[in-house]
Amino acid sequence: MSVLRARGLGKRYRRRWALNGCALDIPAGHVTGLVGPNGAGKSTLLGLAAGMLAPSAGTIEVCGGVPGSGPGQLAKIGFVAQNTPVYATLTVEEHLRLGARLNPGWDGALAAERIDRIGLDPAQRAGKLSVGQRAQLALTLGIAKRPELLLLDEPVAALDPLARREFLQDLMAAVAEHGLSVVLSSHLVSDLERVCDHLVVLVDSRVRLAGELDELLATHHRLTGPRRDPGTLPAGQEVISASHTERQTTVLVRTTEPILDPLWTVSQVGLEDLVLAYLRAPAPGRPALEVVR
């Protein structure tokens, strides 16, 4: 079952497409990492999924309905934007009361327990909280809504390493306890590796890679051997990137078939190297990136 399904999805601002031709299925019950360079369309995709933006082309279905189509649909989605928005002049307690008024499925006991556990003073105004505390307050509002899908747009970008780890630990605890589906946008691949089991890579406003994280890592390999033309590899080995020295070639390939050529030294690829290879790779139909050193 897909918690998010897009077909030919696009969003255009005047002459520029922020997202174009997006075809995507994100399965329910997973924590999906959404990664890509600035301007790739990550925030646009999340805005479309939350119902904050309307598509310019194609369709998107979230939790079985059209985003923003009514109160029932809005109740299914929790959204924490990049700047973890809270109201500076409202207290923590006032934020919780506002959440209760705006969300029919609001879990007041859950919100109060989280605020107490993370040590926030209910009487403290949000403008006086630290960046990490504001992020935790925003996460509390998103979780206590009891959504089916929680969308997080770079929620830890401004946090220090300790606050970031605490935020992600709390997120994973909520996922385990409440069965949330999550889409988490982040530039920090190490954080994605810690919490995600599904991955989507956006490049140039298009989906370049999507799938279960374990399967993606298992089907990508780094081949190192005597210098050669990557175009001579078997058809079942898709070349993602290639680099050369005077005598040696290193190739990243995607394949489900065994690599039988004895001249290749085969090694596994980590998540960061995998993501970087796709961020640098040319658009489909063009030759794989070749770097000569």
DSSP string across 165-186: HHHHHHHHHHHHHH--EEEEE-
- Tell me, what's the pLDDT at 132? 85
Q: What gap in Å lies between CA 238 and CA 251, rounded to an integer?
A: 10
- Tell me, what's the pLDDT at 283? 58
Residue 165: band (very low, low, confident or very high) from pLDDT cuts 50, 70, 90: confident
CA dihedral (165, 170, 173, 179) positive or negative = negative
Please state, in angstroms and as integers, the Cα–Cα distance from residue 248 to each residue in 227, 228, 253, 280, following that order.
Answer: 4, 8, 16, 20
Task: Please give the average per-residue pLDDT across 180-188, as a whole number.
Answer: 91
- Tell me, what's the pLDDT at 158? 74
Q: Which two tokens stand for residue 123?
A: 């009487």
Task: Please give the average per-residue pLDDT across 119-127, as a whole number.
Answer: 95
Give the residue carrying structure tokens 């082309």: 57
Q: Is the pLDDT of residue 251 over 80?
A: yes
Sheet containing strand 16-27, edge to edge, reads 16-27, 2-13, 57-62
> Quick check: 77 and 147 in contact, CB under 8 A?
yes
* Mean pLDDT, rounded, of the chain: 90
Q: Is the pLDDT of residue 6 over 80?
A: yes
Q: What gap in Å lies between CA 111 and CA 106, rounded to an integer?
A: 9
> Quick check: 4 and 149 in contact, CB under 8 A?
yes
Domain boundaries, the chain: 2-213, 219-292
Please state, in angstroms and as integers, the Cα–Cα distance from residue 147 to each residue in 11, 73, 163, 289, following that order.
Answer: 25, 10, 24, 42
- Tell me, what's the pLDDT at 292? 44
Task: Please give the average per-residue pLDDT across 130-148, as a whole number.
Answer: 91
pTM for the model stands at: 0.88
What is residue 194's three-state secondary structure? helix
Q: Which two tokens stand for residue 219?
A: 């089907």
Q: What gap in Å lies between CA 41 and CA 48, rounded to an integer?
A: 10
Residue 288: band (very low, low, confident or very high) from pLDDT cuts 50, 70, 90: very low
Q: Which range is least confidently modeled, 78-87, 187-196, 215-224?
A: 78-87
Burial class (CB in 10 A: 0-12, 13-18, 19+), 263: exposed
Q: Is the pLDDT of residue 157 over 80?
A: no
Q: To the nearest 10°, report the CA torsion of 86, 190, 280, 238.
A: -130
Q: Which two tokens stand for residue 147?
A: 């959504």
- Tell me, what's the pLDDT at 253? 96
Q: Is the pLDDT of residue 18 over 50?
A: yes
- Tell me, what's the pLDDT at 276? 92
Task: Please give the average per-residue pLDDT across 214-229, as a whole number.
Answer: 96
Residue 53: band (very low, low, confident or very high) from pLDDT cuts 50, 70, 90: very high
Q: Is the pLDDT of residue 64 over 60?
A: yes
Q: Is the pLDDT of residue 286 over 80?
A: no
Q: Which range is least confidently modeled, 77-91, 210-224, 250-264, 274-288?
A: 274-288
What is residue 34's three-state secondary structure? strand
Q: Is the pLDDT of residue 13 over 70?
A: yes
Residues in the chain: 293
The share of the chain scoring above pLDDT 70, in percent, equals 96
- Tell me, what's the pLDDT at 284? 56
- Tell me, what's the pLDDT at 282? 64
Q: Is the pLDDT of residue 204 over 80?
A: yes
| Burial profile 240-252: b = 16 or more Cβ within 10 angstroms, e = fewer | bbbbbeeeebbbb
- Tell me, what's the pLDDT at 293? 46
**CATH code of domain 2-213:** 3.40.50.300
Please state, in angstroms and as integers, the Cα–Cα distance from residue 244 to each residue in 31, 226, 249, 290, following that order.
Answer: 36, 9, 4, 7
Q: What gap in Å lies between CA 119 and CA 126, rounded to an integer?
A: 14
